[in-house]
Chains A and B, each alone.
Chain A
Amino acid sequence: MPVDLSYAGRVYPPTAPLEVGREALREFAEAVGSTHPAHTDPAAARALGHPDVVAPPTWVVLVAQRAEAQLVQDPAAGIDFSRVVHADERFTHHRPVHAGDRLVTVLHVDSLTQRAGLTMVATRCEIADEAGAPVATVRSTLAVRGEA
Chain B
Amino acid sequence: MSAAGGRPALADLTVGDEVARGTLRVDRARLVHYAAASGDRNPIHWNERVAREVGLPGVIAHGMWTMGAAVTVVTDWLGDPGAVLDYGVRFTRPVPVPDPGEALVDVVATVGALDAQAGTARIDLAVTVEGQRVLGKAQAVVRLP
Contact = CB atoms under 8 A, between A and B. Distances in A.
A86 B88 contact: no
Contacts of A50: 82
Contact of B67 (A58, A65, A66): A58
Interface residues of A, number: 39
From B69, B76, B81, B84, name the one whose CB has the most chain A CB atoms within 10 angstroms: B81
Contact of A54 (B36, B38, B82, B87): B82
Contacts of B71: 56-58
Contacts of B84: 57, 91, 93
Contact of A28 (B38, B63, B90, B140): B38
Contacts of B76: 35-36
Interface string B55-97: 0000000011101110110011001111011111111000000
Contact of A91 (B38, B87, B90): B87
Interface of B: 24, 30, 33-34, 36-40, 42, 54, 63-65, 67-69, 71-72, 75-76, 79-82, 84-91, 137, 140
Given A31-B34, A36-B80, A56-B81, 11 more contacts: A28-B37, A31-B38, A35-B72, A38-B80, A38-B81, A58-B71, A82-B54, A89-B63, A90-B87, A91-B84, A93-B86
